[in-house]
Structure 1
Amino acid sequence: MKNKILVLGSLTLLSASLLVMNSCNSLPKGLKTIQDFDKNKYLGSWYEIARLDFVFEKNLNNTTAEYSLNEDGSIKVVNRGYNFIKNKYVASTGKVKFAGDSNEGKLKVSFFGPFYSGYNIIALDSDYKYALVAGESLKYLWLLSREKTMPNNIKETYLKTAKDLGYNTSELIWVKHN
Structure 2
Amino acid sequence: MLFTLLTVCGLVASGMAACPDIPSLEVFEAAQYAGHWYEIQRYPLIGEVGETCVQTNYTLQADGSVRLENRGRKPDGVIDSITGTARAEDPAHPAELSVLFDEGFQGSYNVIRTDYTASALVYTCTPLGDIILENAWFLSREPTMDQAVQDEYTRILADAGSDTSQLSVTPQNCGSLF
User: What interval of TM-score do these two structures reach, taking the shorter chain for normalisation?
Assistant: 0.7 to 0.9
Q: Paired residue for 1:13?
A: none
- Aligned pair partner of 2:144 in 144, 149, 154: 149
Amino acid at match of 1:172: L
Q: Which has the higher contact order (CA 8 A, sep 6+)?
A: 2
- Aligned pair partner of 1:59 in 46, 50, 58: 50
SS at match of 2:134: coil
Structure possessing the higher radius of gyration over alpha carbons: 1
Q: Paired residue for 1:37?
A: 28
Report the count of equivalent residues.
151
SS at match of 2:143: coil
Work out the percentage of aligned pairs sharing the same amino acid. Answer: 30
Q: How does 1:14-163 map to 2 (within 5 A)?
A: 28-84=19-75, 86-101=76-91, 104-112=94-102, 115-125=105-115, 127-137=116-126, 138-163=133-158
Give 5+ residue unaligned stretches, structure 2: 1-7, 9-17, 127-132, 174-178
Give 5+ residue unaligned stretches, structure 1: 1-20, 22-26
Alignment partners' CA distance in 1, 2:154 and 2:25: 16
Alignment partners' CA distance in 1, 2:61 and 2:103: 16
| 1:119 shift after superposition | 0.4
Displaced runs of 4+ in structure 1, greater than 3 A? Answer: 112-115
Per-residue deviation, residues 27-64 of structure 1 (Å, max 9, x unmatched): 93322110221000000000000000112222211000
CA-based RMSD of the aligned residues comes to 2.0
**TM-score relative to the length of structure 2:** 0.77
Amino acid at match of 2:140: S
SS at match of 2:157: helix
SS at match of 1:41: helix
| 1:143 shift after superposition | 0.5
Structure with the largest fraction of helix? 1
Per-residue deviation, residues 92-149 of structure 1 (Å, max 9, x unmatched): 1111111322762111112155542110011112x44211100133521100000111
